[in-house]
Amino acid sequence: MGEETPIHSWPCSYYLAAGKRWIPGKLSLTPVSVKFAADGSGELLADFRLAGIAGIKKESSQLIFSSLTILEKGTKHWFGSLHPNRNAVFNVLEHFWRERLLPAGAGAAGSGKGKELAGMLEGSRKRLEDTAQALHSQGEQFDGIMRGLHKIEGDMDVADRLLTELESPSWWPFSGKLWKTPPEAKPKESPAAAAAEPKKPEEILLRIPVIVTHGTDSDAKPGKLTLLPSGLEIRDCNSQLLHRFESRDVDDIRVHTPYEISVRQRFIGKPDNSFRLLSARMPEAIPVLETRFGKKMQFLEDALGFAGAGKSPQADLGTSVWQA
């Protein structure tokens, strides 16, 4: 796939400052740039590099319309009426923009992009430190609560023994010995349970940031794709598990472009369970997926040139029981 081949396109409107009007057209994202072409004439009204973007924000124009703004070389570009919705477009653009920033920041620490990236990393580090301190404080509070509960439990045992002694008749010679009865013996844990070791975490083959779309939902959200020896895990931006595909559960993985795939599990009598994943680092994951899933991989027309073997998967579809 060439650098100018669109990864994704969205119908929207662009505010032309010179004419002070909104122009309908299509916003396109390529591996290195963002473009807007007007409907009808196809005139290219905006064309700028991802590396030159200073910021992407969700804003409101005229206090009414929800818009997306892209700041590039001191110029703010406004985009409105985004389809399917503003959040989906924002998540995809921001993902590719931030992934484009990483190598630039590493290569030029003194540049503006490098400083901006360092600032974001420093902010993340401070938030992690604050979180760690809060967790430590909560742990100390929890320990205090547990000590208090143990003391209350001990006091209740003493009170129970005293009440038992008081309730016994004064002439009963064993009244003072009732509370001295030995406690009931707790059942011992079986040697097998005691010797059981905690399960070791599974080896991670690859983990990349992705934009996740589930089924027919039009909302694209940031998340993570983790490749494991036993299957795939898809998580949201908070590392909460959205779904785990065991290797045997995956019926097919379609490679739409080198940056976008869909993973599907088929069912009889109910809708398929499918996830569509878009990532700037997907070219790293596709060879690993091809190694793990073999013939379950299907390279569609826009991704055939990316297939390592150069073989069209359509040849295998003729004998597929699902296609039949």
Q: What is the helix (H) or strand (E) element at residue 147, kind and residue range?
A: helix 112-167
pLDDT single digits (tens) 91-109: 999 999 988 877 544 444 4
What gap in Å lies between CA 80 and CA 89, rounded to an integer? 11
**CATH architecture observed for domain 8-101:** Roll (2.30)
Pair 59, 102: CB distance under 8 Å: no
Among the ranges given (132-141, 171-180, 201-210, 221-230), the one the predictor scored with the smallest mean pLDDT: 171-180
Q: Residue 320 pLDDT > 80, yes or no?
A: no
What's the one-letter identity of residue 132? A
Place of tokens 């009170």: 159
* pLDDT attached to residue 311: 43
Annotated domain spans of the chain: 8-101, 206-306
Continuous segment of H or E residues that includes residue 99: helix 86-107
- Do 206-306 and 8-101 fall under one CATH topology? yes
Q: Say yes or no to pLDDT of 265 above 90.
A: yes
**Peptide bond just before 103 cis, omega within 30 deg:** no
- Could you please state the CATH topology (level 3) that the domain comprising 206-306 is classified under: PH-domain like (2.30.29)
The structure tokens listed for 127 are: 């938030």
Predicted TM-score of the model (pTM):
0.63
Asked if 231 and 247 count as a contact pair (C-beta separation under 8 A), the reply is yes
The mean pLDDT of 12-23, rounded to a whole number, is 90
From 68, 112, 115, select the one nearest 93 (Cα to Cα). 68
Selection from 99, 104, 93, 101 nearest residue 7 by Cα: 93
Please say whether the beta carbons of 83 and 8 come within 8 A.
no
- pLDDT mean across residues, the chain: 79
The C-alpha atoms of residue 48 and residue 74 are separated, in whole angstroms, by: 12
CB 220 within 8 A of CB 196: no
CB 224 within 8 A of CB 278: no
Taking CA atoms, 299 is separated from 6, 18, 166, 258, in Å, by 17, 44, 83, 9
E strand or H helix at 316: helix 314-317
Residue 127's region, left for phi above 0, alpha for psi from -120 to 50, else beta, is: alpha
User: 170 — phi, psi (to 5°)?
Assistant: -65, -25
Mean local confidence (pLDDT), 185-192: 57
- List pLDDT tens digits, range 21-68: 999 999 999 989 999 999 988 899 999 899 899 999 998 766 557 889
What tokens were used for 61? 């124009």
Q: Which secondary structure element, helix H or strand E, spans residue 75, and what is its range?
A: strand 75-80
Q: 263-286 burial string, b = 16+ CB within 10 Å, else e? A: bbbeeeeeeebbbbbbbbbbeebb
pLDDT value of position 92: 93
Pairing of strands 44-49, 33-38: antiparallel
Question: What is the reported pLDDT for 305?
Answer: 61
* Phi-psi group of 186: left, alpha or beta (phi > 0 → left; psi -120 to 50 → alpha; rest → beta): beta
The pLDDT value recorded for residue 316 is: 40
Q: What is the pLDDT of residue 193?
A: 52
Quick one: pLDDT band at residue 294, thresholds 50, 70, 90? confident
